[in-house]
């Protein structure tokens, strides 16, 4: 679970850094080559690269969060089943 938390936190940090850089470097550039008004190619490529990093980091954060949730559900399930006593079945007696 510690590795999943680490991956989740790192992906959130990378996502925040990519969003901050996108707003700082290319604030009004759409990451599409054909827009209504001409845009410099370096700005379009930078915006596209930063958007790709944002999407990958967001996907990793979601996957890590799902793994954490699954681990917590598994832990709760195993604790609940451990706390319950299994019903005893009657023994067959040999004659």
The model's pTM: 0.74
Specify the pLDDT at position 94: 67
Angle at 38 (CA atoms; ends 32, 40), nearest 5 degrees: 75
**Neighbour tally for 22: CB within 10 Å:** 19
Specify the pLDDT at position 1: 78
Give the residue carrying structure tokens 């370096």.
Answer: 42
Tokens of residue 7, six digits: 């991956």
Does 92 reside within a domain? no
Does 34 reside within a domain? yes
* Domain residue limits at 79: 2-83
pLDDT in tens, 49-91: 999 999 999 999 999 999 999 999 998 888 877 766 656 666 7
Evaluated on CA atoms 3, 5, 11, 13, the torsion sign reads: negative
Does 88 reside within a domain? no
């Amino acid at each position: 679970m510690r590795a999943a938390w680490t991956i989740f936190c790192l992906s959130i940090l990378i996502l925040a850094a990519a969003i901050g850089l996108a707003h700082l470097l290319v604030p009004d550039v759409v990451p599409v080559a054909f827009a209504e008004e001409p845009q410099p190619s370096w700005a379009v490529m930078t915006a596209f690269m930063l958007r790709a990093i944002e999407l990958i980091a967001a996907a990793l954060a979601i996957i890590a969060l799902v793994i954490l949730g699954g681990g917590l559900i598994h832990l709760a399930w195993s604790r609940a089943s451990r706390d319950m006593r299994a019903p005893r079945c009657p023994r067959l007696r040999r004659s």
